């Protein structure tokens, strides 16, 4: 009987993931994710100068930040506002560093932890991406979709 | 006024200096840098001297052997100095250069020492013993006459030569060689020329003919009188110059003296007079201007029985104005031939067909009023032509045809058209007095090339001419070395920069154009060697010209035309009037040991080494290249030094400066950017301060965002550099090892007044991200550097880039861009997820920091 995969197997190594230093601009981040479209990556890991992992930047956050107050607009006004933004080339937000937009990581799992532990933490903290450490250092991240897929495969075998 | 503190600081510095002042090899930075500076200066003067010498080969300048010698002396001294300085700079690592230098120098010395050996012969030699191979012994004219007498059996007057050996005896006996010096004479200064000439002639005329020589001449004259006695009553001689180079390739027509109708007892004094004519202003000028060496000024003399000619003249075996015309041309006058030669009277003219026996095709027999005849008491006199002959032809038809036959025999024997003097003696014997190669006057081409040709479009009219001439062909861009391999025959090489590697196609290229380059650079020198018309510093050729476009490069007026213009190409074919002169040959020969460049590829470690140096150019290029590498290493030892001063600057960098002299003003301890006088460092710091550096760490409402953990997925888990960055500087030089994030970069630059000295070198390695991303950053830097004209080698995460030979301002501009690049690429490797991302960043950098147009992507 096939065993459920462990976190080490499910983890995406940091070296295969889009990374950025916190001082990169929002524009750079959009460029990076745009070029990473084919790889299905939808988030960027953000580091400091000494390669300390400090947070993540996701697509929703980026969209939110392109237009200040985007999420607060009424649904009817949104398209007008966007057109205005594009027409005036008023894209100052794009020049802002991503450090202002990242979601910090507050929890981390160990590579030896069970997949279900990771799933549990993600549900508890309402996140889709969780850093994984190995010997006290960040080695990669696991995604909810991969964990879900693994659990689903496990269930569907019955 | 110095404060106590500053004095204290000084003392402290000094103290720290003593044990650490020198790198482990014992040579201080300062000493090494001084060597480097000297080497650069010598390198420049070598290249300039070489350029000057090559320029002389164009034939547009007058120069003499003194010039060649003195330039070679300069080169020998400078090349030696280059080797010595490299030796000090590299701690004797390239000692092998001394051996190669000695070998090359020996060849040069040999080449320069080659002067005419005057063969040891008798003082006098009868014509029947003389052949044309004896030019060095008897001079050109005598050798020819001897040849005609001894080998062709044509009628020639009796006579003898006073040999070159006799000349040497005369000169040595009177120590005239030391007293007369025309070696350093400037032939352009008429006053000096006149003074030297007068002095020399006086010395000769006052000199004594040594008794052995005098006896030899008198004996030979008596013997001649005896032999010629059957022909004349009362023997007289004609005494003529026969200088070593006279009548060889150079006519020296009329430069030296001929004395007619000399009594036997006066032959010796006539001899001295003719020797003196070697030093007339005219003759010295001619000699100098035609590029003969002083050593070549050797005079033999011919003593020929004076033919009391009834008629005489000149004939040409072909028409000198048109070689294609068939026919021997004979001119004749009554009396002595001088009037025919000098064109004083209108001669009788005959044109005879070239078959044997010939037929007279044309004749013209004007009436002759005056003639020159031998005077009864020596000398010659002008007299009226007696009435009974003045309307008669001076030659019978039979005599005309015989002379034509002689002319054809002479032409056949010498293999060249001949210019012949003849005489008819009182007994109607025809005699050949002299024969020499006929100068055919080539069809005169218009040498002046118009500045612009109406109806033709000038594409570019900028730049500097490195090698004169005109060439046309299709434009072929060379942006990479590999492109040289498929260089089409006859194309015009167009490139951004000069490169010595272009030599590999110089036999195919019809012209070379570069946007940037130095007239005294390696390539310019090679272009002159290969005589490829070349224009440098055109600035816009790569933009204006299109590959495959047919153009005409006028490297005389500095114009580049659209299309192929035959008129210009034809006009550009310059003839070199000095080509065959001995001094020209000496220069050409000696340049063979100086100019050719064999060390073309510094990356070929095996062949780019002292043992492959065959010329001074090779040694210089090798030394310059290696010296730059040695200097580059200077930064490696910088952190071990104690003499560094901290630079107080608003940059997140800990910079320590070591001044080699002139790089920092006010060495009192605390230095700021304003104290930096080092040109490259100033430009770099200015650039670094003009760009925004990564901002402060992120905060959120709770304060500083904490790192959850640090990654160890770095393939090279070295820690970020926290050590200071060291800059070794002088006024023009900077060697700056920057430790930034996880990479190390060394930026070295020289920005002085001489383009040849200037360069930037950039070494970059390392990074914090995975290997593929680090390699992408290297590629990114490579792409940007190539846009600003660097030559870059990049493997993995190591990059070595270099740009050379730009003026100071351009070097400063490039450093400004590099400063921005340094900040821009700090830890950028982290981000470089794919090649597409790399390309985006390249464009972004160009857009933001290098707005000027760059060359198109290839």
In Å, how far is B652's CA from the nearest CA of chain A? 12
CB B837 to CB A140 under 8 A? Answer: no
pLDDT above 90 as % of chain B: 33
Higher pLDDT: B666 or B309? It is B309
**Is there a domain that residue B361 lies in?**
yes
**Is there a domain that residue B630 lies in?**
no
* Mean pLDDT across B697-707: 69
Q: Which residue of chain B is at minimal alpha-carbon distance from A44? A: B831
Q: Could you say which DSSP state residue A99 is in? A: G
- Could you tell me which residues come within 8 angstroms of residue A123 by beta carbon, excluding any fewer than 6 positions away? none
The 10s digit of each residue's pLDDT in B401-421 is: 999 999 999 988 888 888 888
* Mean pLDDT across B748-768: 89
Contacts of A129 in chain B (CB under 8 A): none
Contacts of B831 in chain A (CB under 8 A): 18-21, 24, 28, 32
In Å, how far is B828's CA from the nearest CA of chain A? 8
CA distance B504 to B485: 9
User: B1-10, B290-299, B369-378, B703-712: which range is least confident on average?
Assistant: B1-10
pLDDT(B852) > 70: no
**Is there a domain that residue A118 lies in?**
yes
User: A35-39, B336-340, B346-350, B370-374: which range is least confident on average?
Assistant: B336-340
pLDDT(B555) > 60: yes
Tell whether A105 lies on the interface with B, counting CB pairs under 8 A: yes
Q: What is the value of pTM for the model shown?
A: 0.64
pLDDT score at B27: 59
Q: Could you say which DSSP state residue B448 is in? A: P
Chains A–B, number of C-beta pairs less than 8 Å apart = 109
CB A53 to CB B831 under 8 A? Answer: no
Note whether B22 and B45 are same-domain residues: yes
Strands (E), B488-609: 492-495, 511-514, 534-536, 550-554, 559-562
pLDDT(B17) > 50: no
At A40, which CATH number?
A: 3.10.580.10
Q: Which residue of chain B is at minimal alpha-carbon distance from A95? A: B692
pLDDT score at B717: 43
Of B694, B712, B827, the CB nearest to A137: B712
**Is there a domain that residue B110 lies in?**
yes
pLDDT score at B583: 79
Q: Interface pTM (ipTM) of the complex?
A: 0.90
Cβ proximity of B629 and B622 under 8 Å: no
* Mean pLDDT across B229-256: 68
Note whether B598 and B745 are same-domain residues: no
Contacts of A15 in chain B (CB under 8 A): 713, 769-770, 772-773
- Which residue bears the tokens 């033919």? B307
In Å, how far is A156's CA from the nearest CA of chain B? 35
* Mean pLDDT across B687-691: 91
Question: Over the Cα atoms of chain A, what is R_g?
Answer: 18
**Is there a domain that residue B453 lies in?**
no
> Which of the four pLDDT bands, split at 50, 70 and 90, describes residue B13?
very low
User: B548-552, B583-587, B653-657, B761-765: which range is least confident on average?
Assistant: B583-587
**Is there a domain that residue A127 lies in?**
yes
Is the bond preceding residue B357 a cis peptide, omega within 30 degrees? Answer: yes
Note whether B368 and B313 are same-domain residues: yes
Strand partners, B657: B645, B727
Note whether B332 and B289 are same-domain residues: no
Q: Which domain, by its residues, includes B529?
A: 458-574
User: What is the C-alpha end-to-end distance of chain A, expressed in Å?
Assistant: 11
Closest CA to B751 of B706, B814, B696, B688: B814
Packing angle, helices A144-156 and A115-125, rounded to 10 = 130
Note whether B241 and B366 are same-domain residues: no
Chain A interface mutation, best of B693, B700, B709, highest count of A Cβ atoms under 10 Å: B709
pLDDT score at B529: 79
Chain B interface mutation, best of A51, A53, A95, highest count of B Cβ atoms under 10 Å: A51
Q: What is the mean pLDDT of each run of 10 residues along chain A (158 residues)?
A: 79 91 92 86 88 88 78 78 74 84 90 93 93 88 92 84
Contacts of B710 in chain A (CB under 8 A): 50-53, 137-138
pLDDT score at B302: 93
Note whether B362 and B506 are same-domain residues: no
Contacts of A104 in chain B (CB under 8 A): 700, 705-706, 708
The 10s digit of each residue's pLDDT in B129-138 is: 998 888 888 9
CB B837 to CB A31 under 8 A? Answer: yes
Note whether B201 and B273 are same-domain residues: yes
In Å, how far is A56's CA from the nearest CA of chain B? 11
Domain boundary among B529, B547, B574: B574
pLDDT(B8) > 50: no
Q: Which residue of chain B is at minimal alpha-carbon distance from A48? A: B697
At B526, which CATH number?
A: 3.50.30.10
Note whether B738 and B806 are same-domain residues: yes
CB A55 to CB B837 under 8 A? Answer: no
CB A138 to CB B708 under 8 A? Answer: yes
**Is there a domain that residue A2 lies in?**
no
**Is there a domain that residue A27 lies in?**
yes
Across chain B, mean pLDDT equals 82
Contacts of A12 in chain B (CB under 8 A): none
pLDDT score at B321: 65
Q: Is B259 helix (H, G, I), strand (E, B) or coil?
A: strand
pLDDT(B605) > 80: yes
The 10s digit of each residue's pLDDT in B437-482 is: 776 654 444 456 667 777 888 999 888 888 888 999 999 999 888 8
In Å, how far is B784's CA from the nearest CA of chain A? 18
> Which of the four pLDDT bands, split at 50, 70 and 90, describes residue B485?
confident
Higher pLDDT: A74 or B427? It is B427
Tell whether A131 lies on the interface with B, counting CB pairs under 8 A: yes
Of B709, B772, B831, the CB nearest to A24: B831
- Could you tell me which residues come within 8 angstroms of residue B113 by beta carbon, excluding any fewer than 6 positions away? none
Note whether B142 and B261 are same-domain residues: yes
CA atoms within 13 A on the CB side of B89: 27
Q: Could you say which DSSP state residue B667 is in? A: -
* Mean pLDDT across B677-686: 95
In Å, how far is A123's CA from the nearest CA of chain B? 19
Number of other CB atoms surrounding residue B167 within 10 Å: 25
Contacts of B694 in chain A (CB under 8 A): 21, 23, 49
Strands (E), B751-787: 759-766
Domain boundary among B307, B331, B357: B307
Cβ proximity of B491 and B548 under 8 Å: no
CB A100 to CB B695 under 8 A? Answer: no
Strands B655-661 and B725-730: parallel
Chain A interface mutation, best of B721, B768, B775, B831, highest count of A Cβ atoms under 10 Å: B831
* Mean pLDDT across B219-232: 78
Question: Over the Cα atoms of chain B, what is R_g?
Answer: 38
Interface of B with A in 159-178 (CB under 8 A): none
Note whether B400 and B286 are same-domain residues: no
- Could you tell me which residues come within 8 angstroms of residue B483 by beta carbon, excluding any fewer than 6 positions away? B476, B477
In Å, how far is A76's CA from the nearest CA of chain B? 31
In Å, how far is B832's CA from the nearest CA of chain A? 8
Q: Sort residue B548 into left (φ over 0), alpha (ψ -120 to 50) or beta.
A: left
Q: Structure tokens of B68?
A: 């060649």
pLDDT(B114) > 90: no
* Mean pLDDT across B672-698: 89
**Is there a domain that residue B446 lies in?**
no
Task: Give how many domains chain B has, as a whole number.
Answer: 5
**Is there a domain that residue A1 lies in?**
no
pLDDT(B739) > 60: yes
pLDDT(B15) > 70: no
Interface of A with B in 4-63 (CB under 8 A): 13-15, 18-24, 28, 31-32, 35-36, 47-55
Of B709, B741, B840, the CB nearest to A133: B709
Q: Structure tokens of A137?
A: 């250092």
Higher pLDDT: B706 or B780? It is B780
Note whether B668 and B550 are same-domain residues: no
> Which of the four pLDDT bands, split at 50, 70 and 90, describes residue B858?
very low
pLDDT score at B179: 81
The 10s digit of each residue's pLDDT in B526-541 is: 888 788 999 998 989 9
Of A21, A35, A137, the CB nearest to B709: A137
**Is there a domain that residue A47 lies in?**
yes
In Å, how far is A24's CA from the nearest CA of chain B? 8
Note whether B50 and B111 are same-domain residues: yes
pLDDT(B181) > 80: no
pLDDT(B780) > 90: yes
**Is there a domain that residue B580 lies in?**
no
Task: Give how many domains chain A has, as a whole number.
Answer: 1
**Is there a domain that residue A17 lies in?**
yes
CA distance B565 to B569: 7
Q: Which residue of chain B is at minimal alpha-carbon distance from A29? A: B831
**Is there a domain that residue B88 lies in?**
yes
Domain boundary among B259, B279, B307: B307
> Which of the four pLDDT bands, split at 50, 70 and 90, describes residue B783?
very high
**Is there a domain that residue B581 lies in?**
no
User: B410-419, B547-556, B663-672: which range is least confident on average?
Assistant: B663-672
- Which residue bears the tokens 């006073």? B162
Contacts of A14 in chain B (CB under 8 A): 711, 713
In Å, how far is B716's CA from the nearest CA of chain A? 12
Strands (E), B543-591: 550-554, 559-562
CA distance B116 to B109: 15
Of A15, A49, A55, the CB nearest to B720: A49
pLDDT(B734) > 90: yes
Contacts of B709 in chain A (CB under 8 A): 52-53, 108, 131, 133, 136-138
Chain B interface mutation, best of A40, A49, A134, highest count of B Cβ atoms under 10 Å: A49
CB A106 to CB B708 under 8 A? Answer: yes
The 10s digit of each residue's pLDDT in B379-389 is: 678 888 888 88
Tell whether B827 lies on the interface with A, counting CB pairs under 8 A: yes
Of A47, A97, A100, the CB nearest to B830: A47
Q: Which residue of chain A is at minimal alpha-carbon distance from B772? A: A15
Calculate the dihedral angle through the C-alpha atoms of B163, B164, B167, B172, rounding to the nearest 10 degrees.
-130
Q: Which domain, by its residues, includes A99?
A: 7-156
């Amino acid at each position: 009987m096939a065993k459920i995969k462990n976190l080490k197997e499910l983890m995406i190594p940091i070296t295969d993931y889009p990374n950025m230093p916190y001082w990169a601009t929002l524009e750079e981040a959009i460029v990076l994710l745009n070029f990473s479209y084919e790889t299905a990556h939808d988030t960027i890991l953000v580091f400091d100068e000494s390669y300390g992992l400090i947070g993540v930047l996701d697509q929703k956050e980026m969209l939110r930040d392109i237009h200040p107050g985007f999420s607060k607009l009424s649904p009817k006004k949104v398209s007008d506002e966007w057109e205005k933004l594009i027409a005036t080339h008023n894209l100052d937000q794009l020049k802002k560093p991503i450090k202002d937009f990242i979601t910090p990581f507050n929890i981390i799992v160990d590579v030896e932890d069970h997949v279900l532990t990771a799933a549990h933490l993600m549900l508890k903290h309402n996140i889709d991406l969780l850093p994984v450490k190995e010997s006290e250092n960040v080695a990669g991240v696991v995604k909810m979709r991969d964990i879900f897929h693994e659990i689903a495969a496990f269930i569907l075998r019955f | 006024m110095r404060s106590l503190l500053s004095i204290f600081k000084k003392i402290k510095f000094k103290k720290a200096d003593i044990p650490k002042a020198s790198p482990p090899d014992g040579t201080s930075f300062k000493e090494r840098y001084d060597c480097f500076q000297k080497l650069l200066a010598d390198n420049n003067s070598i290249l300039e001297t070489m350029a000057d010498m090559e320029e002389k080969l164009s034939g547009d300048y007058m120069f003499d052997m003194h010039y060649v010698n003195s330039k070679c002396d300069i080169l020998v001294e400078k090349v030696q100095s280059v080797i010595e300085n490299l030796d000090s700079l590299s701690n004797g690592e390239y000692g092998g250069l001394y051996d190669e230098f000695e070998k090359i120098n020996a060849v040069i010395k040999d080449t320069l020492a080659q002067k005419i050996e005057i063969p040891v012969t008798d003082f006098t030699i009868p014509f029947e013993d003389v052949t044309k191979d004896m030019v060095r012994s008897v001079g050109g004219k005598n050798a020819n006459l001897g040849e005609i007498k001894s080998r062709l059996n044509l009628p020639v007057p009796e006579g003898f030569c006073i040999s070159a050996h006799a000349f040497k005896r005369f000169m040595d006996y009177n120590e005239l060689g030391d007293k007369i010096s025309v070696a350093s004479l400037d032939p352009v200064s008429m006053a000096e020329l006149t003074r030297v000439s007068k002095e020399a002639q006086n010395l000769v005329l006052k000199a004594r003919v040594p008794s052995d020589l005098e006896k030899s001449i008198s004996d030979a004259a008596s013997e001649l009188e005896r032999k010629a006695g059957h022909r004349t009553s009362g023997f007289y001689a004609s005494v003529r110059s026969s200088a070593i180079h006279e009548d060889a390739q150079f006519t020296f027509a009329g430069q030296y003296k001929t004395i007619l109708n000399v009594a036997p007892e006066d032959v010796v004094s006539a001899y001295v007079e003719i020797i003196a004519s070697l030093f007339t202003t005219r003759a010295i000028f001619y000699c100098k201007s035609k590029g003969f060496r002083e050593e070549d000024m050797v005079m033999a003399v011919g003593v020929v029985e004076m033919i009391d000619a009834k008629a005489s003249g000149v004939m040409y075996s072909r028409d000198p104005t048109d070689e294609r015309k068939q026919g021997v041309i004979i001119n004749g006058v009554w009396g002595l031939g001088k009037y025919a030669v000098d064109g004083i009277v209108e001669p009788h003219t005959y044109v005879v067909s070239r078959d044997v026996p010939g037929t007279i095709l044309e004749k013209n027999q004007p009436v002759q009023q005056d003639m020159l005849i031998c005077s009864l008491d020596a000398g010659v006199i002008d007299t009226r032509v007696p009435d009974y002959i003045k309307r008669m032809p001076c030659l019978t038809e039979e005599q005309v045809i015989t002379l034509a036959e002689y002319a054809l025999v002479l032409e056949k024997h010498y293999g060249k058209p001949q210019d012949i003097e003849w005489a008819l003696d009182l007994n109607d014997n025809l005699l050949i007095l002299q024969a020499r190669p006929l100068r055919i006057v080539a069809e005169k081409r218009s040498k002046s090339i118009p500045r612009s040709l109406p109806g033709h479009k000038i594409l570019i009219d900028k730049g500097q001419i490195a090698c004169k001439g005109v060439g046309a062909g299709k434009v072929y861009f060379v942006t990479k070395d590999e492109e040289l391999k498929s260089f089409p025959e006859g194309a015009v090489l167009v490139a951004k920069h000069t490169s010595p590697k272009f030599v590999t196609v110089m036999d195919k290229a019809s012209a070379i154009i570069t946007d940037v380059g130095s007239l005294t650079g390696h390539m310019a020198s090679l272009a002159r060697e290969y005589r490829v018309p070349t224009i440098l510093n055109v600035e816009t050729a790569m933009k204006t010209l299109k590959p495959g476009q047919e153009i005409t490069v006028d490297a005389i007026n500095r114009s580049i035309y659209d299309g192929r213009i035959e008129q210009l190409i034809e006009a550009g074919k310059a003839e070199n009037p000095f080509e065959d002169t001995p001094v020209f040959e000496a220069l050409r020969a000696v340049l063979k040991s100086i100019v050719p460049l064999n060390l073309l590829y510094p990356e070929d470690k095996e062949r780019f080494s002292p043992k492959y140096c065959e010329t001074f150019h090779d040694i210089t290029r090798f030394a310059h290249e290696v010296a730059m590498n040695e200097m580059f290493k200077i930064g490696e030892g910088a952190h071990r030094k104690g003499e560094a001063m901290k630079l107080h600057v608003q940059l997140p960098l800990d910079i320590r400066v070591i001044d080699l002299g002139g790089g920092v003003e006010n060495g009192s301890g605390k230095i700021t950017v304003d104290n930096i006088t080092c040109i490259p460092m100033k430009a770099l710091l200015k650039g670094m301060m003009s760009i925004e550096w990564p901002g402060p760490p992120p905060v959120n409402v709770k304060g500083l965002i904490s790192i959850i953990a640090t990654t160890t997925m770095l393939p090279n888990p070295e820690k970020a550099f926290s050590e200071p960055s060291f800059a070794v500087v002088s006024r023009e030089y900077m060697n700056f090892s920057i430790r930034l994030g996880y990479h190390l970069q060394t930026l070295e630059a020289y920005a002085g007044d001489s383009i040849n000295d200037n360069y930037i070198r950039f070494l970059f390695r390392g990074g914090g991200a995975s290997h593929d991303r680090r390699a992408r950053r290297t590629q990114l830097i490579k792409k940007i550097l190539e846009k600003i004209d660097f030559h870059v080698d990049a493997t993995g995460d190591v990059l070595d880039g270099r740009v050379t030979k730009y003026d100071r301002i351009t070097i400063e501009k490039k450093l400004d861009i590099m400063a921005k690049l340094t900040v821009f690429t700090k830890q950028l490797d982290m981000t470089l997820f794919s090649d597409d991302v790399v390309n985006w960043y390249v464009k972004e950098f160009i857009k933001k920091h290098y707005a000027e147009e760059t060359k198109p992507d290839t």
